[in-house]
Structure 1
């Protein structure tokens, strides 16, 4: 599923630039993606659209997030730490944080792999038509072992 999401991010500026589900399914199939992977990604994206409608503007800028036990178990320590890092850096406002948490908890299994969470964060920005700044893109794309320390 995450490969499909990355493909969509790289090939479509915004969700509204994507063709309808039937045409997109055909295009993704032609690109070599499996049908169950495509269906899972499109269902997940529908949930992202719903989350975007319901969370934007609901949270106060200085709100505090307390994770339930179920969320802690599903997200895992690394993912919660990364979300907190993005919040403290001022790039993930509370409404987007809630979208990230909603979409991460929609992923079966757990805890959510940190690399998968980074794709989820990227897709939340994409769904809102926002592009994260260069430093955040670096954090989302460059593997930690490949970073240069100055």
Structure 2
């Protein structure tokens, strides 16, 4: 599933190419690219839910917490995101890249992934996707992109 999400993000969203609106056409293209139908369906559903997070009324967990609040992770969240992932989220909050709302959007999308393995690099992709899709977070997206792509080889780290 992460492979499909990264493929779509790099191919269409990040490159500003025209995203095919017709899900059937997009599914066919992904099938031709070698992805499995079940994974394609799950990925497209995941992206639809990401788009729905833009509407605050669809995200009851977003409550504009006070700056002094602390995020306590559930047991399931800690199983999915190791200490490196949680530490990276905290770091991005401390440097004002993520706020409580975007952090919760990231965690929501991470927990909705249908994958057994999840590593820090996967989290970085999810963060980019969330910030790209969250209106008003262009500067935060640019900052994360600079942090991640700023390496000499230009790759995501």
Say whether the fold is shared (TM-score over 0.5). Answer: yes
Q: Compared with structure 1, are the counterparts of its residues 33 and 86 closer, same or farther at alpha carbon in structure 2 (3 Å cutoff)?
A: same
TM-score by length of 1: 0.77
Q: Which runs of 5+ in 2 are unaligned?
A: none
Which residue does 2:12 correspond to in 1? Answer: 12
Q: Which runs of 5+ in 1 are unaligned?
A: none
The 8 Å contact of residues 104 and 120 in structure 1, kept in 2 or not, is answered as yes
User: Cα deviations across residues 7-60 of structure 1 (Å, max 9, x unaligned)?
Assistant: 22223347x944132121122223333323312211211222233323396323
Which residue does 1:139 correspond to in 2? Answer: 147
Q: How many residues align?
A: 144
**Greater helix proportion:** 1
Which residue does 1:50 correspond to in 2? Answer: 52
Tell me, in whole angstroms, the C-alpha distance in 1 between the residues paired with 2:21 and 2:114.
26
The 8 Å contact of residues 79 and 114 in structure 1, kept in 2 or not, is answered as yes
Deviation at 1:115, TM superposition (A): 1.0
Q: Compared with structure 1, are the counterparts of its residues 108 and 31 closer, same or farther at alpha carbon in structure 2 (3 Å cutoff)?
A: closer
* 102-111 vs 24-33, greater mean Cα deviation: 102-111
1:66 pairs with 2:68: no
Give the CA RMSD over aligned residues: 3.0
TM-score by length of 2: 0.74
Residues 1-150 of structure 1 aligned to structure 2 (within 5 Å): 1-13=1-13, 17-53=19-55, 54-55=58-59, 58-60=63-65, 62=67, 63-108=69-114, 112-128=118-134, 130-131=137-138, 132-133=141-142, 135-141=143-149
Q: Compared with structure 1, are the counterparts of its residues 36 and 108 closer, same or farther at alpha carbon in structure 2 (3 Å cutoff)?
A: closer
Tell me, in whole angstroms, the C-alpha distance in 1 between the residues paired with 2:32 and 2:78.
38
The 8 Å contact of residues 128 and 144 in structure 2, kept in 1 or not, is answered as no
Deviation at 1:123, TM superposition (A): 1.1
